[in-house]
Amino acid sequence: MKRTLYLTCLLALLLRPEAVSGAETVTIKCLSTTSTENSGLTDHLLPIFEKKTGIKVLLIARGTGAALEAGKRGDADVVLVHAKSAELKLVEEGYFTDRRDVMYNDFIILGPKADPAGVQKAETAKEAFRKISEAGSLFISRGDNSGTHKKELSIWKAAGIRPEGDGYMEVGQGMSKAMRIASEKGAYVLADRGTWLSRKDTMHLSVLFEGDPELFNQYGVMAVNPEKHPHVKYSETMTFINWLVSEEGQRAIGEFKVGGRQLFIPDAKAGM
């Protein structure tokens, strides 16, 4: 009887998942801006990280605004977004911690090749927006409180224009869908270069304005504060953050290309 009980317990122990596959895999939840997914960057990075550390990353792509709000509620372990002023404010308020710059690219203004508003003649981004408004041309806004939407609104404000009316369409969609709508309607749209380069062959759009320092696009990563949300997997999250800003992680970001073009420039440095 004792021998049978012993063998039964031993069999149950051996058949546990962790006994078969080793230590139980830990999964962290990362809320990331849609541009990192749409461009293909996270599909490139995450397998490298997971192979090195054994930590799985569940990626949920949302606009930056939605990602930050979900992170504030403790619905993720880490966020990878692009609205630095908003990020720093939330760190100061105690919702997030350990913020680091990771990489950058830039925003560009896309539109129909014929450029009816004359955007190509503009010298600044705000002048380009004024031209679009004055010409009554259609502008597609993501309208989703994303990092791209925040940047767009800041340019309208700098131009002294309140966008509204028939020439302004808020679509509440991610970058790829917003560009698709602009392409179909022959409209203008502000886009991040990474998503554009990964989708441009499917769009009837052209880069009409670029290069203004106002269009700089910084990406950052930060952990959800475990003091506010004790359930988060802070240790594994810091392994992920430290890898992104490490020499290996930064090299992986720099090596990611589409059509021979580098989409993101690694720029991790000490501090926030």
State residue 198's pLDDT score: 87
Token pair of 113, please?
A: 């090749």
pLDDT over threshold 80, residue 27:
yes
Residue-wise burial string across 207-223, b where 16 or more C-beta atoms lie within 10 A, e elsewhere: ebbeebeebebbbbbbb
pLDDT over threshold 70, residue 168:
yes
Please compute the mean of the pLDDT values over residues 57-74 and round it to a whole number.
Answer: 94
Domain boundaries, the chain: 26-105+217-266, 106-215
State residue 23's pLDDT score: 54
Give the least confident one: 21-25, 59-63, 126-130, 142-146: 21-25
Asked: is 106-215 a CATH 3.30.565.10 domain? The reply is no
Please compute the mean of the pLDDT values over residues 39-47 and round it to a whole number.
Answer: 94
pLDDT over threshold 90, residue 259:
no
Helix or strand holding residue 30 (H, E) = strand 27-33
pLDDT tier, 38 (very low <50, low <70, confident <90, very high otherwise): confident
CA 101, CA 268: separation in Å to the nearest integer?
Answer: 5
Please compute the mean of the pLDDT values over residues 163-172 and round it to a whole number.
Answer: 95
Tens-place pLDDT, residues 125-137:
999 999 999 999 9
Tell me if 85 sits within 8 A of 79, measured CB to CB.
no
pLDDT over threshold 50, residue 7:
no
Residue the block writes with tokens 């609205």: 83
Tell me if 249 sits within 8 A of 243, measured CB to CB.
yes
Token pair of 234, please?
A: 């802070």
Minimal CA–CA distance to 251: which of 266, 237, 238, 234? 266
Query: Which stretches of 34-146 are assigned E, i.e. beta strand?
Result: 56-62, 78-81, 96-111, 139-141
CATH number of 26-105+217-266: 3.40.190.10
pLDDT over threshold 50, residue 228:
yes
State residue 270's pLDDT score: 54
Query: Which pTM value belongs to this model?
Result: 0.83
Please compute the mean of the pLDDT values over residues 200-217 and round it to a whole number.
Answer: 95
Please compute the mean of the pLDDT values over residues 60-74 and round it to a whole number.
Answer: 93
State residue 14's pLDDT score: 38
- Intrachain domains 26-105+217-266 and 106-215 with the same fold: yes
pLDDT tier, 272 (very low <50, low <70, confident <90, very high otherwise): low
Please compute the mean of the pLDDT values over residues 55-65 and round it to a whole number.
Answer: 93
Tell me if 204 sits within 8 A of 115, measured CB to CB.
no
The CA angle 255-200-258, to the nearest 5 degrees, is 15
